[in-house]
Structure 1
Amino acid sequence: MAVRDFYEILDISKDATQDDIKKAYRKLAKKYHPDLNPNDAEAEQNFKEVNAAYEILSDQEKRSRYDRFGHAGIDPQAGGGDFGGFGDIFDDLFDVFGGFGGRSTGRRRSGPARGADIQQGVTLEFKEAVFGVEKEVQVRRYETCGTCEGTGAKPGTDKKTCSKCHGSGEVRYAQQTPFGQFVQVGVCDQCNGAGETFEEKCETCNGTGKEIKTRKINVNIPAGVDNDSVMTVRGEGHSGEKGGLPGDLYIYISVKEDPVFERRGTNLYVTVPITFAQATLGAEIEIPTLEGAERYTIPAATPSGSRFKLRNKGVANVRGLGRGDLIFAVEVIIPKDLTDKQRELLLEYSKEMGENYMVPEKKGFFKKVKDAFQQ
């Protein structure tokens, strides 16, 4: 199956800015997030593609390699995107002209290598994101095989020198170019660069030295995280090769909306209903906050839509730089059903204010129909 172009996956042009890339990623990651598309294999695959594309294009160095060499430029199995591509040709040309004939770069990949990273999505309730929470995250990762302890060999059997590369871990290929014949060096495909093969492969890991394990990891998520926040948990990714360090776990956070508060950064926004009398005369009203209701006095003659601020009643800054504010708007509520006495008092008020208010005549439904046909 061909790998799709990363720019196509994010639906952006090749001259997109980093802001364009970030906006496109946020939009698509939210659209395809597994929590919003349960049991949807296609959405899950799209989510993985979007994350992979963003990981490369958001990194200037990786993006540059990708723009030059395509997917080969960022393939970890290709040694940073050089093997078999233009990178090796340029390197070999340099060696020939600088070293007088046929030397290769001699890259051997038998040493320790860092493990791959893991990306995992986590959805939080609104207050979990605001106050922080400890979450149990389940990940599937490659770990050192417990049967062979990472050697790949069946316990009790020996290793032997690879017959193809004779223990070097490398094989040489002659390549004909317009400049003549050049020698390239690649990882031996028989021993995968180890220089050794097994008498018998480990039955648990089939000679890879790795097995897949499901782990539950407790992660402390700090107060103040928001949608699209990314947490890094060091050393909880896939295990490394030949004693190399493990990769990291990247947690991509989504936050559910709250029915009361609207969040913008570290500030919270809420609408508080008040009566006509409260708006006109001024009143002490209750304002919902994260810590519970708080009393606030609004002045007389407060128009509907007026905004007020409660300082330091918003969301904590995730880096510990204080808290945002809570901003509330008042909305004057017009009553729908009035008693006769309330209606009479409003009419008296209207007269007192000098308003020429005409009371509509009360008519039954059939009387209204009859009047309509008589017109």
Structure 2
Amino acid sequence: MSKDFYSILGVSRDASPEDIKKAYRKLSKELHPDKHKGDKAREQKFKEINEAYEALADPQKRKTYDQFGSVGNGGSSGSSGSGGFGGFDFSGFSGQGGDAGGIGDLFETFFGGQRGRAPKKEEQRGRDLEMRVQITFAESVSGVQKKISVRRLQPCEACRGQGNAPGAASVPCSDCHGTGQITRTVQSFFGAIRQSVQCNKCSGSGKVPEKMCPTCDGEGRVLSSGDVMVDIPGGIADGQTIRLRGYGEAGRRSASSGDLYVRINVQTDARFVREGDDIHTSVSMSVLQAILGDDISVDTVHGSIAWRIPAGTQPAQVFRLKGKGMPSVKGHGHGDHYVTVMLKVPTKLTREERKLFEEWKRIVRS
């Protein structure tokens, strides 16, 4: 009988990949054998959640499982083969019987994602930053350029971000011998496993300054403030974010910089209600204007325009002004402007006005 991988991970069948990953990580921490040594039941459960995650994390395997209730090659059999890893069955994770490429996160946890291959150098990228900028509603229509002050780690000018003192060179890191990785031994339910991790001393670059820059203490970056110009496109909505690549904090010793995320806050305008790229407003008019029609002025996000009210306009009737809404933030086209008619009924009449309305009533009744 096939296993219900969704139930094992505690997620619904329409769960997103991110939800599945979160559920797996949570259960993996709770049921890890290192926390419950000798508990066979929890060890079996740990195997099951890894098997379930492996099937659901891969889009193709998940599609196959949803259609047929298994992922093939024993992926849902739950058999406990006699391989070299404490009886854990990897048959469901192998593609063509060669590299067990499907086990993904499990190997990544214990082997640093390398699976026996030569470790890749990964330099320490700078941290991403987030800031907020407030603009007016009118600026959100036309677009605007804003200057913001950002205090962040920036490349050291004295050493040009290298971390070396003047005249000094970079030399291979003594901790990792220039590889950018160090090997450590961790204990798992598989036994003792050698794991490659990024070297802290060189931040994965494999090199360190022969002599440290006195300005930045060999970091290659210093804390300073500077102005950044942000081009905000017309049509941007409240809460949207603009990403400025490379404007985050500088990486250590010439490693790549992080990004700056600018979240836009748009002030409201009492005249307009925005829905997507469409704008909604209302106009008040008299009963006579609605009956006879009239020329009036309508405020739009692009300015005031002349508009003809057609004769016989009804209360709460909605009219569409095509292309008079917000510009698309992608740079092409506009939304529409919808006008709702609100009738003003007079509460006080002059003697002459009342006489005219009475005459009109008599005519209508006759």
Q: With structure 1 as the length reference, what TM-score do the two structures score?
A: 0.61
CA distance in structure 2 between the aligned counterparts of 1:189 and 1:161, rounded to whole angstroms: 14
Match of 1:118 in 2: 129
Give the superposition deviation at 1:293: 2.8
Q: Does 1:325 align with 2:336?
A: yes
Match of 2:119 in 1: 107
Q: Does 1:134 align with 2:155?
A: no
Report the 3-state secondary structure (helix = DSSP H, G, I; strand = E; otherwise coil) of the residue aligned with 2:314: coil
The alignment yields a C-alpha RMSD, in angstroms, of 3.9
Report the 3-state secondary structure (helix = DSSP H, G, I; strand = E; otherwise coil) of the residue aligned with 1:320: coil
CA distance in structure 2 between the aligned counterparts of 1:167 and 1:17, rounded to whole angstroms: 46
Question: Among residues 96, 108, 114, which one is paired with 1:87 in the alignment?
Answer: 108
Question: Among residues 291, 312, 315, which one is paired with 1:304 in the alignment?
Answer: 315
1:170-224 deviation line (CA, Å, top 9, x unaligned): 4332334444433223334455445566687555434422222222212222221
Tell me how many residue pairs correspond in the alignment.
281
The residue type equivalent to 1:107 in the other structure is: P
The residue type equivalent to 1:317 in the other structure is: S
Give the superposition deviation at 1:275: 0.6
1:259-318 deviation line (CA, Å, top 9, x unaligned): 212222222221111111111222222222234332222232221111222222222222
Question: Among residues 255, 258, 263, which one is paired with 1:247 in the alignment?
Answer: 258
Contact 1:170–1:187 (CA under 8 A) maintained in structure 2? yes
CA distance in structure 2 between the aligned counterparts of 1:244 and 1:257, rounded to whole angstroms: 41
Q: Does 1:222 align with 2:233?
A: yes
**1:25-64 correspondence to structure 2 within 5 Å:** none
Range with greater deviation from structure 2 (168-177 or 213-222): 168-177
Q: Does 1:285 align with 2:296?
A: yes
Q: Does 1:267 align with 2:281?
A: no
Match of 2:74 in 1: none
Contact 1:69–1:85 (CA under 8 A) maintained in structure 2? no
Q: With structure 2 as the length reference, what TM-score do the two structures score?
A: 0.62
**1:329-368 correspondence to structure 2 within 5 Å:** 329-354=340-365
Question: Among residues 222, 225, 232, which one is paired with 2:243 in the alignment?
Answer: 232
Give the superposition deviation at 1:328: 0.9
CA distance in structure 1 between the aligned counterparts of 2:302 and 2:178, rounded to whole angstroms: 67
Match of 1:9 in 2: none
1:128-172 deviation line (CA, Å, top 9, x unaligned): 111111111332332112234334355577877766555555433
CA 1:174/1:300 → structure 2, altered by over 3 Å: closer, same or farther? closer
**1:12-23 correspondence to structure 2 within 5 Å:** none
Question: Among residues 160, 167, 182, which one is paired with 1:171 in the alignment?
Answer: 182
CA distance in structure 1 between the aligned counterparts of 2:330 and 2:169, rounded to whole angstroms: 53
CA distance in structure 2 between the aligned counterparts of 1:92 and 1:122, rounded to whole angstroms: 39
Q: Structure 1: state its 5+ residue gaps.
A: 1-12, 19-56, 74-83, 96-104, 356-375
Match of 1:10 in 2: none
Q: Structure 2: state its 5+ residue gaps.
A: 1-9, 30-104
Q: Does 1:212 align with 2:219?
A: no
CA 1:233/1:17 → structure 2, altered by over 3 Å: closer, same or farther? farther
Q: Does 1:316 align with 2:327?
A: yes
Match of 1:371 in 2: none
